Structure 1
Amino acid sequence: MRYTKNIGLLFIAITVFLAACGSNSNKELVEGKTNVVTSFYPLYYLASEIGGDNVNVVNLIPAGVEPHDWTPKSQDLTIASKAQLFLYNGAGLEGWTDDFLTGLPKNSGLVAAEMSKGIEMIHGNPEEDEHEDEGHDHDHDLDVDPHTWVSPKSAIIMAANVRDSLVQADAAHKDEFEANYKELVGKLEALNDEFETKLATAPHNTIVVSHQAFGYLARDYGLKQIAITGLSPDAEPRPQDLLNVAKLVKSEGIKYIYFEELVSRDLANTIADETNTELLVLNPIEGLTPKQEKAGEDYLSLMEQNLQNLLTGLQ
């Protein structure tokens, strides 16, 4: 069978994902400001934009560390115990949250808030039933898709949650938080409008991605996500999964395979070689690379780049 050509190489190429999840923010508290601890980069971005000069945002998960696997150290607990607010995504992304909060000193005034609250969750893989009879069976270790922030529609909801949490922690600066929120959400709504308008006219709607991180993006903008690996970054596809992805790419005339910059591209690259397709970046924005941070990239600019690459790949 022609699709078996590189399957051995594909399995050799399976590696542990190293999606980065944080800005290189200093883990230091600042007196005279509301100290906000965030679990990973998207929340760090939202809290920084909405909080402005009145807050000091500390991001827990360092760059280069996958959020599903990260666990806090004692110094992280110490920092959080002296902060006023802890923002985490929820939806199963940070499996350490319950133990972390339980470990706080009893006199800690830290308020914890889940930022994915209010988003309609995706349970498992919506394409699962369609592909199971073909042998394309993803991991079942996560009941809920936690990658809410990858859709601008979800980011708008999360921004409101961040604003509300900041107001709860620091009511004296409610007006400033509200003004910053309105400015940010205007940009997010413009981004959402651009995604809706431009993706609606794309000739195709199927994206083949290395990691099943784009379910909310696909749901909200009429796309169909086919993932090489599942919801959990360390999930490993079976040989039959890889054969089916290759067959699908050929049968649907797909021209591009999407990979993530902070993750090994070996699987995507080998499928691209097998199917004579090209590679493009689709960034789940779990964190910034040092190069992106130095260049002043942020959630908005990276989502703009995602849209351009989607439009290229869906031609």
Structure 2
Amino acid sequence: MKKTWRLRSGAVGLIVLIVMLAAGCGPQSQGKIVEGKVNVVTTFYPIYEFAKAIGGEDANVINLLPAGVEPHDWTPRSQDIVNTSKAQLFFYNGAGLEGWVPQFLKGLNRDSQVKAYEVSRGIKLIEANEEDEHEHEHQEGAGHSHQHHVDPHTWVSPKSALIMAENMKNSYIEADPAHKDAYNERYLNLKKRLEELDREFASQLGKMPRKEIVVSHEAFGYLARDYGLTQHAIMGLSPDAEPRSRDLLELSNLVKEEGIHYIFFEELVSDKLAKTLASETGAEVLVLNPVEGLTEDQLKRGDDYFSLMRNNLANLILALQE
């Protein structure tokens, strides 16, 4: 059975909040509220990186999602409620990614002044097809819904990331107009880097003879749409969705017929199905990162959104050659 947020009585919200507050184990978000700065709470890594870049010295940014954790499978803890209640800004992706957000915001302290912003607002969202929606109606999350009516993976395309960054900049200026010029200057620097990344993807992928990619998790819809590719996913929009046997058979036939050389998998999700499909079709496996979070090793190496996206581009170029 699929459990979704249904607010038909206050009892459901109370039970969920008690579960959140009682969760004393598991990874906690890192960071504390700092007086004299704009305190910003972000839900996961790409938003955190952009918020830090724009906020600079005027902001204190706290990211909720710990390193190495897949955002589809995460729920907030008691300290997250405390920090967000004291913050000025709360940035979340929206588009159905963080199903826990509405109830989380209801659980904040009554005197909280935090302003919540859905940073994907303004992006032309990709609608999930009916089969995807049916499939995800049977995926049950830990206290939140995995059901998606749209593809939530907006940030994986630099074109969408540009819209997200502008939304964050506008929110900073609204919350702290005294530092408007500084926020705008830092935003323009980030915008320049994102535009450069966009040009690289458009130029390099436009030259590739192949346009079909096979991925483990349907996280690359915006990337595919914006740069002329077609993605075929083993699993659906939620990485814990179970693929159907007929879908795997169709994918196997596609890989063989099209002569596809690589099956893409990602670090934060099991690579078992990708490796199985590769072994059955004579293909190899290669990483395509949805940049949902950093692993501990990536943190140590100093990786960021831009380095991971350029690694993605290099692997796409390799896979899309004849």
Q: TM-score range by the shorter chain?
A: 0.7 to 0.9
Which secondary structure does the structure 1 equivalent of 2:57 belong to?
helix
Aligned partners of 1:120, 1:182: CA distance in 2, in Å?
Answer: 22
Percent identity, aligned pairs only, is 60
- TM-superposed CA distance for 1:66, in Å, is 2.5
How far apart in 2 are the matches of 1:92 and 1:66? 15
> In the superposition, relative to structure 1, how do residues 80 and 171 fare at CA in structure 2: closer, same or farther (>3 Å)?
same
User: After superposition, what is the alpha-carbon deviation per residue over 1:99-125, rounded to whole angstroms, capped at 9, x for unaligned?
Assistant: 111111221110000000000000004
Partner of 2:141: none
What do the CA deviations read for 1:61-108 (whole angstroms, capped 9, x no partner)?
Answer: 222333223221221111100111000000010001111111112211
Name which of 67, 92, 103 aligns with 1:99.
Answer: 103
1:311 offset after TM fit, Å? 0.5
- Looking at structure 2, the residues matched to 157 and 42 of structure 1 have their Cα atoms a distance apart, in angstroms, of 13
- Look up the match of 1:122: 126
Aligned to 1:213: 219
Aligned to 1:263: 269
After TM superposition, the structure 1 = structure 2 runs for residues 30-49 of structure 1, keeping only pairs within 5 Å, are 30-49=34-53
More deviation in 47-56 or 138-147?
Answer: 138-147
User: What letter corresponds to residue 157 of structure 1 in structure 2?
Assistant: I
2:205 is the alignment partner of 1:194: no
Gaps of 5+ in 2: 1-26, 138-146
Q: In structure 2, what is the Cα distance between the partners aligned to 1:124 and 1:98?
A: 21
1:85 pairs with one of 82, 85, 89? 89
Structure 1 142/260 Cα, relative in aligned 2: closer, same or farther at 3 Å? Answer: same
Give, in whole Å, the separation in 2 of the partners of 1:66 and 1:263: 8
> 2:243 — aligned with what?
237
- The 1:296/1:189 distance shift into structure 2, 3 A limit, reads same
Contact 1:24 1:63 (8 Å CA) reproduced: no
1:228-273 deviations in whole A, cap 9, x for unaligned? 0000121100111111111100001100000101221111011111
Please say if residues 36 and 84 of structure 1, whose CA atoms lie closer than 8 Å, have aligned partners that are also in contact.
yes
Equivalent residues, number: 285
Partner of 2:34, secondary structure, is coil
Residue 300 (structure 2) pairs with residue 298 (structure 1) = no
- Correspondence list, 1:1-315, <5 A: 26-125=30-129, 139=136, 141-315=147-321
Q: Residue 168 of structure 1: CA displacement?
A: 1.2
Name the amino acid aligned to 1:206.
E
Q: For residues 168 and 273 of structure 1, what CA distance do their matches in structure 2 show? A: 53
Residue identity matched to 2:290: P
Once residues 167 and 28 of structure 2 are traced to their aligned partners in structure 1, the CA distance between those partners, rounded to angstroms, is 24
Corresponding position of 1:4: none
Matched residue SS, 1:211: coil
Q: Give secondary structure in 1 for the equivalent of 2:191.
A: helix
SS at match of 2:215: strand
Deviation digits for residues 114-157 of structure 1 (CA, Å, limit 9, x no counterpart): 000000000004xx78xx9xxxx954631110000000000000
Instruction: For residue 124 of structure 2, give the secondary structure of its aligned residue in structure 1.
Output: coil
Tell me the secondary structure at the aligned position of residue 243 of structure 2: coil
Segments of 5+ residues of structure 1 without an aligned counterpart are 1-22
Q: Over the residues paired in the alignment, what is the CA RMSD in angstroms? A: 1.7
Indicate conservation of the 8 Å contact 2:29/2:65, yes or no.
no
Give the TM-score normalised by the residue count of structure 2: 0.85
- The 1:24–1:183 alpha-carbon spacing in structure 2 relative to 1, beyond 3 Å, is farther
| Letter of the 2:204 counterpart | K
Which structure ranks higher in relative contact order (CA pairs < 8 Å, sequence separation ≥ 6)?
A: 1
Query: For residues 177 and 295 of structure 2, what CA distance do their matches in structure 1 show?
Result: 34
Contact 2:30 2:66 in 1 (8 A): no
Q: Given the superposition, is the C-alpha separation of residues 86 and 100 from structure 1 closer, same or farther in structure 2, using an over 3 Å criterion?
A: same
State how far apart, in whole Å, the 2-side matches of 1:56 and 1:139 are. 36
TM-score scaled to structure 1, two decimals?
0.87
Note the C-alpha offset of 1:296. Answer: 1.0
| Structure 2 partner of 1:18 | none
Q: C-alpha distance in 2, partners of 1:304/1:282?
A: 10
Structure 1 residue runs of 4+, over 3 Å off? 137-141
